[in-house]
A = this chain, B = another copy of it.
Amino acid sequence: MDIKFCTACGSPTQQKIPCDDDHVRSVCTNCGQIHYSNPKMVVGCIPELGDQVLLCKRDIEPQKGKWTLPAGYLENRESVQDGAIRETFEETMAKVHIIEPYRLFNIVFVDQIYFMFRASLLSDKFGPTNESIDVRLFDEKDIPWDDIAFKVIKQTLEHYFHDRKTKMFPFKIFDLH
């Protein structure tokens, strides 16, 4: 999001490199306020129940109608675990317990850091929400690979089912291009 006006005084900003800095920032032409823009964290999980994983079918843009893992922007005053638990509940009505961190994806071209956990469903209670028109448990063989909403989610699922063969799920970092 472009910062065209100062958040502190409402005057126009200009793009410049402040003293002792090496990045261009939006700097207020009136009060001098420097506005920083930084990557956002997206937190989510792979909710497991036995051999199945929970996916949700998006009822909102982008990628409305496609399947995804529950994930969303980390909010202020929230830990990465709590954010993943909250997003899972908001998108699937499911309550989960975090098992462990699984993947970090750098998606530098959209300034997002995806942080995905493995998680276990605490019950078989889940269902549609404002954000998801359908929520379902899938066996590996039934995953709708051609209808996954985002490349980062497809990669997370591919890695997960690959690792499941060995039952070893080391935390790893990848770059998405």
Interface residues of A (CB under 8 A from B): 1-12, 20, 23, 35-41, 73-81, 101, 104, 106, 108-109, 111, 113, 130, 171, 173, 175
Contacts and interface: CB of A to CB of B under 8 A. Distances in A.
10 contacts: A1-B7, A4-B8, A10-B12, A36-B73, A39-B74, A41-B113, A77-B108, A77-B111, A101-B173, A171-B171
Contact of A5 (B10, B74, B113): B10
Contacts of A37: 76
Nearest to A9: B5
A37 B113 CA distance: 15
A5 B114 CA distance: 30
9 interchain residue pairs of minimum CB distance? A5-B10, A79-B106, A10-B10, A3-B7, A76-B111, A171-B171, A38-B40, A77-B108, A39-B74
A172 to B, nearest CB: 9
A77 B41 CA distance: 13
